[in-house]
Amino acid sequence: MSNKFQAVVIGGGPAGYVCSIRLSQLGIKTACIESRDTLGGTCLNIGCIPSKSLLHLSENFFNAKNLSNLGIETGDIKLNLDKMMKNKNKAVTILTKGVEFLFKKNKVTYFKGVGSLKSSNKISIHDKQTKKETIIEAGKIVICTGSEPISLPKINFDEKIIVSSTGALSLNSVPKKMLIVGGGYIGLEMGSVWSRLGSEVHVVEFLDHITPGMDREISKEFMKILEKQGIKFHLESKVEKIKNNNNSATVSILNKEGKKSDFKCDVVLVSVGRKPNTKNLNLEKIGIKINKNMTIKINKNFQTDVKNIYAIGDVIEGPMLAHKAEEEGIAVAELIAGQSGHVNYDVIPGVIYTSPEVASIGKTEEQLKKDNKKYKIGKFPFMANSRAKAINEAEGFVKMLSDQETDKVLGVHIIGPHAGEMIAEVAVAMEFGASSEDIARTCH
């Protein structure tokens, strides 16, 4: 096999695999290096896909248990967690193998191993099993090494009692009591899964609201709905210490009144954010700068300080979302091929796959206020929507923010049934620069 490529992509997640395939489709001889045993990155292996599978399955379980309220009598509904996990693992295997197939089909050379930069056009690949090093050469290099969960100071994940999202996706029994540190979307999705399967779930959040960055009205409604579902929130509280007792954990919490308490639970999920994987790549050695938050510094064309080396996905600034990473993968491949790829960061939807779903795009009301932008608000509750009423899913509302003078849509935030699908329509409308009247006058 020749070790010279026109482009080499480090990392085979949504950013890296999409970029590799697009590069190859554009006629560029491409290789992709992935350190994990399977392709697909965090998203397919330990992120979006397994979490969405468990959200779907646990929702079915929960709904099935409550069917008699709707006049459907069933026998005893029982959980087979082992089978549920196998089902989730099957989805992961099929999809990661699917990416490998796409690599073959599109003639992307796949190297298994840990990639690091030797120089601005030489990359070392370290095979973890054979301990062998292979050096390959590339005209262009794209860094797509993604991110990993952050823990709290002095707290280590054992992925059984003190878990990151990775461990929370593979627990082998339903914890009686589960404490989640951090009220962000990953913690709340995992909290929903285990709460539906029978856990008593508590969320400890440092701020006075959950889901930081989300439109505040939506975030308030979201917390109210989750509370009704049984999740307990401890806001303005700080986890100071977690003691792993091997079969349980004791969590020391300081609340807003300055009162300390110890909370005993079976599993603690620490879900306080993710950090970019920039270590061990030799970035500084070859002159690539990193920002304070550890993301790689790039220009508007995704180029690092070394111009033939690019970076995309979770490893750069911006929302850590798979579809944002994929968009960047396509854009950078097109730029490398001499085309004019770009990403419109004003129109990137975000969805939380709880029940109901929460979906957002564009600016929040708080951001518009901060930017001194004059805006109008349109709101509609699902309570007044016949179909939502008919299917007993009438919680939540839609909030649309538009420019006060031009009526151009600036942001839309939905909490309610099928929010994740509906937001896509808004994305199209916003890409076409629609006004709120354009959407209102469209016969749906």
The answer to the question of residue 197 lying near ligand FAD (CB under 6 A) is no
Of 255, 185, 181, 180, residue with least CA distance to 213: 185
**What is the distance between the alpha carbons of residues 116 and 368, in angstroms, rounded to a whole number?**
42
Candidates 176-184, 223-231, 313-321, 375-383: pick the segment binding ligand FAD (CB under 6 A).
Answer: 313-321
Residue for token pair 């994940």 = 157
Helix 216-228 with 185-196: angle, nearest 10 deg: 20
Distances in whole angstroms, Cα of residue 222 to Cα of each of 189, 214, 237, 392: 12, 10, 19, 17
Residue 43, both tokens: 């998203």
**CB-neighbour burial class of residue 340 (10 A; exposed 0-12, middle 13-18, buried 19+):** exposed
Interaction of residue 365 with ligand FAD, rule CB under 6 A: no
CA 207 to chain centre: 21
Does residue number 313 form part of the binding site for ligand FAD (CB under 6 A)?
A: yes
CA distance 157 to 148: 12
Alpha-helical (H) ranges within 132-279 are 165-168, 185-196, 216-228
Which of 8, 48, 108, 123 touches ligand FAD by CB under 6 A?
48
Q: Which of residues 170-189 bind ligand FAD (CB under 6 A)?
A: 186
Least separation in angstroms between CB 245 and ligand FAD: 26
Which of 144, 203, 239, 333 touches ligand FAD by CB under 6 A?
144
SS3 label, residue 431: helix
Q: Is 350 in contact with 361 (CB distance < 8 Å)?
A: yes
State in angstroms the smallest separation of the CB of 90 from ligand FAD: 18
Q: Is 341 in the site for ligand FAD (CB under 6 A)?
A: no
The token duo for 346 is 């004003």
Pairing between β-strand 232-234 and β-strand 238-244 as defined by DSSP bridges: unpaired
For residue 430, the one-letter residue type is M
Gap between the terminal Cα atoms of the chain: 55
Contact segment (CB under 6 A) with ligand FAD among 42-50, 193-201, 260-268, 390-398 equals 42-50
Question: Helices (DSSP H) in 359-416: which residue ranges?
Answer: 365-370, 386-390
Quote the least distance from Cβ 146 to ligand FAD, whole Å: 2
* Residue 323 binds ligand FAD, judged by CB under 6 A: yes
Compute how many residues bind ligand FAD; rule: CB under 6 A: 36
Q: Phi, psi at residue 398, to the nearest 5°?
A: -110, 135
In whole angstroms, the minimum distance from the beta carbon of 338 to ligand FAD comes to 24
- Which stretch in 138-146, 192-200, 221-229, 295-303 sits in contact with ligand FAD by CB under 6 A? 138-146
Binding flag, residue 47, ligand FAD (CB under 6 A): yes
Residue from 5, 7, 9, 16 touching ligand FAD (CB under 6 A): that is: 16
Tokens at residue 275, please? 């950090």
Q: Nearer to ligand FAD by C-beta: 151 or 255?
A: 151
Q: Which range, of 7-15, 262-270, 296-304, 407-415, touches ligand FAD by CB under 6 A?
A: 7-15
Rule CB under 6 A: is residue 277 a binding residue for ligand FAD? Answer: yes
Minimum distance between the CB of residue 403 and ligand FAD, rounded to whole angstroms?
27
User: Shortest approach of ligand FAD to residue 127 CB, angstroms?
Assistant: 11
For residue 115, state whether it binds ligand FAD (rule: CB under 6 A).
yes
Cβ neighbours, 10 Å, residue 283: 22
Residue 211 sits in the site that holds ligand FAD (CB under 6 A): no
Among 321, 368, 412, 423, binds ligand FAD (CB under 6 A): 321
Please pick, from the candidates 251, 322, 429, 434, the single residue that binds ligand FAD as defined by CB under 6 A: 322
Q: What's the full length of the chain, in residues? A: 444
Residue ranges that bind ligand FAD, judged by CB under 6 A: 10-16, 33-36, 41-43, 47-48, 51, 114-116, 144-147, 165, 186, 277, 281, 313-314, 320-323, 325, 353
